[in-house]
Chain A
């Protein structure tokens, strides 16, 4: 299959998944009615109009942003670490974002929950994004400094999990001294949710994610030359330090902002780039970045549709669904080691 054809297919598929995602939920709304609401902002049933415009559309848009953001973030990390097992949640970067958010609460003096922070308004959401990105960047720098001494892919994964565990332990200590209701809310946050991002939150999240994606796309030439390793990249005129800073910034911003708003969402960032490379058979980041984003958004929309448990009144946490789908992919990657070696050294 040629690449333009594959891309048009992926775009069609993501639009299809987007519409299907809008029709599904505790109330079933026919696809034709969904289309009518989208194009004319009118409907026979005002309840449907409200559900689509205020709940499902923001949630579906969030799913698309999360899919793009986490996949591209994971892709950049895999190239930067030259390790196909690198990913935002696997290396503890999402835990770092959580720590950043927790730091605001500790700093504010009063113990508040993440949901309460979300209610702070637009300046509050910028603050969350900043702190979460900062937390991500700190953990990323730490793991990156350790990674320089490790050659084995799987060992780096273990180090990442350990760093994540330390970070979560720090949050847990703080949790230990907080109120039971807030504990409950924190636990809800760790399940991950696409539903909480509405109005200006969505505006902030999309601005930040698009900015991060632009940074990533602008780094695609640097990422390509880093495929051969740092020494070759330098010999081809790349200022490795600067390129690395931009890639780190993009990764932290994408992971940090998404984690702050939606909670830690696992396995999308590690599995999607790998699937994309296998599917397209290329290492060229100019193709991989948009393709990973499209596949990531399709995957998030599908996961969210499954999480809705169509026809029932209950909803599964999104992190549960992505983990159920993503973890087997990672196990398969580790078991078929030739797959690991084929991607990077």
Chain B
């Protein structure tokens, strides 16, 4: 067995009581890897996270940490191998950030929880790595949600484990904080050679940051692989098919609107403006086809419609097109119907 293999499962089935959520699963976590667990709501992401972290028993099969089977690892030993960051907000108002992160040293301290200088060093290291040293004397209610999650991550780092599991750590965060946390996790996996597994709803962030994706479908189907492979082989579309949205393989995004049914248009150009024009046209229901009779040329200065009319904004472009094809009214009907 490779020394890099930190966690693996054999024929693992997860669920509650008699209700099997998913399985049998065979997954692996290797050192230095950032893995994102994706799936629609209710697919059992939390159940899988809880089972892998030993908070919940498996229905069948086994979870191995290194070469040891999970239920047979004593609690303190397990705490030295695997740490957690959970979705729920921790409210312990009188704890300072320093004290909170120091709680991560719990598995290593004596019966009274006294910190040795080595423990203190580890706490400082964790704070430095997450960029939270300046918060050390602040209390939890004084932190924003983003800062709070970074502090919880610092606590997990202070626990000094090879594995860190995060259950929807980005759930309560605004977009910049989400991006920052994902970037931080990506860097941590590289720098510290830890294996980091997080469940998330952030598909596009996960596609960008993860070394590997685990997809858990609504019916318990499970697929894993390099993000780009999963996009290309259609696993992504299958996993999220039940949600009723189409995953666009060419752009890596989910389409809010059904496949366009409006007039066909050709579109040429290759700048950022091209990308955004395409999005605007798709939203309005135009089908983008290379062989269409009419076409739009995107240039640095503006947009040419059929190489005649020149407009300087997407607003004007859409206006002009709707005048030409009197398509806009249809589209509004469509909007009304949808409502």
Residues of A within 8 Å of B92, CB to CB, are 227-228, 283, 343-345
CA distance A341 to B113 in the complex (A): 26
The smallest C-beta distance from A76 to any residue of chain B, in angstroms, reads 15
A238 to chain B, nearest CB (A): 7
What chain B residues lie within 8 Å of A341 (beta carbons)?
A: 91, 93, 141
Whole-angstrom distance between the alpha carbons of A239 and B70 in the complex? 15
Q: Which of A213-231 contact B (CB under 8 A)?
A: 218, 220-221, 224-225, 227-229, 231
Q: What residue in chain A is nearest B99 (Cβ atoms)?
A: A284
Q: Is the CB of B91 within 8 A of A236?
A: no
Q: CA separation between A220 and B141, bound complex, in Å?
A: 23
When C-beta atoms are compared, the residue in chain A nearest to B92 turns out to be A227
Give residues 85-116 of B contacting A (CB, 8 Å): 86, 88-95, 99-100, 103-104, 106-107, 109, 111-113
Instruction: Tell me, rounded to whole Å, the shortest Cβ–Cβ distance linking B153 to chain A.
Output: 13
Chain A residue at minimum C-beta to C-beta distance from B82: A235
Are A237 and B107 in touch, CB under 8 angstroms?
yes
Given the complex of chains A and B, what is the CA–CA distance between A100 and B75 in angstroms? 36
Shortest CB–CB separation between residue A34 and chain B, in angstroms?
37
How far, in Å, is B110 (CB) from chain A's closest CB?
Answer: 8
Q: What chain B residues lie within 8 Å of A235 (beta carbons)? A: 53, 55, 79, 82-84
Given contacts A237-B75, A237-B80, contact A218 B88 (CB under 8 A): no
Quote the shortest CB–CB distance from A150 to chain B (angstroms). Answer: 16
**Interface size bucket, A side?**
20 to 34
Contact of B94 among A218, A228, A281 (CB under 8 A): A281
Known: A283-B92, A283-B94. A237 touches B76 (CB 8 A): yes
**CB pair A232 B99 closer than 8 Å:** no
Q: Is the CB of B113 within 8 A of A234?
A: no
Tell me the bound Cα distance from A221 to B79 in angstroms.
15
* Tally of B interface residues using CB under 8 Å: 33
CB pair B95 A283 closer than 8 Å: yes
| CB of B7 to closest CB in A, whole Å | 15
Residues in A whose Cβ lies below 8 Å from that of B109 = 221
Q: Which residues of B contact A173 (CB under 8 A)?
A: none
A56 within 8 A of B: no
A221 x B88 contact (CB < 8 A): no
Establish whether residues B113 and A237, one from each chain, have CB atoms under 8 Å apart when the complex forms. Answer: no
Q: A244: CB under 8 A from chain B? A: no
Q: Which residues of B contact A220 (CB under 8 A)?
A: 112-113
Compute how far the CA of A342 lies from the CA of B142 in the bound complex, rounded to whole angstroms: 10
Q: Which residues of B contact A232 (CB under 8 A)?
A: 84, 86, 90
Which residues on the A side are within 8 Å of B78 (C-beta)? 237
> In the complex, what distance in Å separates the CA atom of A224 from the CA atom of B104?
11
**Bound CA–CA A284/B100 (angstroms):** 10
- B170 nearest CB across to chain A (Å): 18
Complex: chain B residue closest to A227, CB-CB = B92
B100: chain A residues at CB < 8 Å are 228
- Does any Cβ of A come within 8 Å of B282's Cβ? no
B95 touches A234 (CB 8 A): no
A sample of 23 inter-chain contacts (CB < 8 A) reads A220-B113, A221-B109, A221-B113, A231-B84, A231-B86, A235-B55, A236-B83, A236-B106, A236-B159, A237-B79, A237-B106, A238-B75, A239-B75, A277-B94, A283-B93, A286-B112, A341-B141, A342-B93, A343-B93, A343-B94, A344-B91, A345-B88, A345-B90
Shortest 3 CB-CB contacts between residues of A and residues of B:
A237-B79, A342-B93, A345-B91
Seed contacts A342-B93, A344-B91; 10 additional CB < 8 Å A-B pairs: A221-B111, A221-B112, A221-B113, A224-B106, A224-B113, A228-B92, A235-B84, A236-B107, A342-B94, A343-B93
